[in-house]
Chain A
Amino acid sequence: MENILKIINTVLNNRDKLRISEISKSSHLRNDCGLDSLDLAELTVRIESEYDVDIFENGIVETVGDIMNKINE
């Protein structure tokens, strides 16, 4: 979870958006974290490079919990 928060903040920081201090499984990536499509695309690549999983490969990922499920599959 902490690592995902770090990756999300890297993406936000790159676009000069406000960092977030905490996330939970139910945090919504667009609504709560403020990520748009470009950000999400970047997020997938950063997660893929660390976990070797393309989180958007099969269907929609909306929350932090969805990401964790994909990584742990």
Chain B
Amino acid sequence: MSDFFLIDSVKDIIVKYDELFADLSNIKNYNKYCKSDSYYTIFKHILISIIIGEEIVLLDHDFSTNEIDKLLGKNASLSEEKLIKNFDVINFKNIQEKIKVNNKSWKITLFTSGTTGLPKKISHTFDSLTRFIKIDETRKGNVWGFAYNPSHMAGLQVFFQAFLNQNTIVRLFGVERIALLNLINDYSVTNISSTPTFYRMLLPSDHICNKVMSLTSGGEKFDSKTLGNLKEMFPNSKIRNVYASTEAGALFSSKGDIFTIKSELSHSIKFIKNELYIHHTLLGASDGLTLLDGWYKTGDIVEVINNIPLKFKFLSRKNEMINTGGYKVNPSEVEEVIRELKGVTDAFVFGKKNSLLGSLVLCEVTVSDKSLNEKQIRTFLKDRLQEFKVPRIIKFVESISTTRTGKILRKK
């Protein structure tokens, strides 16, 4: 195990495990709503909720009052606290015991970052949240680069993976590129889990991070150019993809872009017209999910490669397709091609409502080569894509718009 629990350079906080346990032991009041921009506050709040076996509701720190009223109803009292009964001085061992005792009564509620409408409310038990978390001796020395919003599903999974193995967590979310790469090397980060967008922002591969052993990517699809650059940058690291959603937690992981489904899960997923359906027994509890005979329609379009064992790869999110004059454009496909152009660091393709065509395909790019112009990109794309897929307007931006989770924001 490590002495250090959390390194947060954004808040200038370094906390050792014994300091964490001492702070937890001193907490006297409990509020089930957690809304904070401090990682440390959020992590402590989660741990206290487990220790006392009470529900915790995680709210993004930047939710507006208006959003909270819509999510929780106007009568929700965010400031209501209750006194906690006395408990023993906390250490790691008795947190483990509390987890065993309280894992049925404890639940954590969070909100998905849906790109349309209001976020959906999802509740998880300890078991559904930590289904894929591995605890063993070989992981005791891991140092986690924390590159997610801690009040979202993926961030929670990294938190539990790190905490249950008593690893150090180094905050990488919200840190500027060079400082971030220095943090990875200075603190010998061994594991990072994040979105492809986050990894692309680490490029170009002018820094080598030798200590990193495992990179996990979730969210939108990883392209081969980024993958190649990451291998240069993290020469000792395994790179894998995880399919996870707030509804289901982490479900499958892949080597390259091919996902292999373990036989015990294979009866809980199915495909209809190449769309992935997940059986409700794999999901967290939510009133906001629409189920068809017990199956949840994910909106993810896959290509099945093999039936036994089941192997598939993701093609796109169904609702991400841009309909332009009757043609369907897959933004991920276009983005991938744009990123192949030398001098382009990232691309974001989206549909803009248009009274003539339904939607028009537009694009934002970030470049390392400032001399690139719209015409050059268009010429490059014309040879590689059908014309209707080529973005009609290419805008050069300093950074790509992302959602609260760091995924590329699809609707505009």
Contacts and interface: CB of A to CB of B under 8 A. Distances in A.
**Which range contains the number of A residues in contact with the other chain?**
10 to 19
Does more than half of chain A's interface fall in helix, strand or loop, or is it mixed? helix
B85 interface: no
Contact of A38 (B325, B362, B374, B375): B325
B375 A41 contact: no
A45 interface: yes
B374 A37 contact: no
B34 interface: no
Does more than half of chain B's interface fall in helix, strand or loop, or is it mixed? mixed
Interface in B370-402: 374-375, 378, 387-388, 392-393
B231 interface: no
A44 B354 contact: yes
Contacts of B387: 38
B305 interface: no
Contact of B360 (A14, A41, A57): A41
A14 B374 contact: yes
Interface in A24-64: 37-38, 40-42, 44-46, 54, 56-57
B355 A45 contact: no
A46 B378 CA distance: 16
A13 interface: yes
A46 B362 CA distance: 11
A48 to B, nearest CB: 9
B27 interface: no
A54 B355 contact: yes
B140 interface: no
A54 B355 CA distance: 8
Interface in B316-360: 324-325, 352, 354-357, 360
Contacts of A56: 354-356
Given A13-B375, A14-B374, A45-B362, A37 B393 contact: no
B378 A37 contact: no
A38 B355 contact: no
B379 to A, nearest CB: 9
A73 to B, nearest CB: 15
B362 A14 contact: no
A50 B387 CA distance: 25
B388 to A, nearest CB: 8
A37 B374 CA distance: 20
Contacts of B325: 37-38, 41
Nearest to A49: B393
A56 B357 CA distance: 11
B354 A38 contact: no
A14 B375 contact: yes
Given A13-B375, A46-B393, A40 B356 contact: yes
A54 B357 CA distance: 13
8 contacts: A13-B375, A14-B375, A38-B392, A42-B392, A44-B354, A44-B356, A45-B392, A56-B356
Interface of A: 13-14, 37-38, 40-42, 44-46, 54, 56-57
Given A14-B392, A40-B356, A41-B357, 14 more contacts: A13-B375, A14-B374, A37-B325, A38-B387, A38-B392, A41-B360, A44-B355, A45-B352, A45-B362, A45-B392, A45-B393, A54-B355, A56-B355, A57-B355
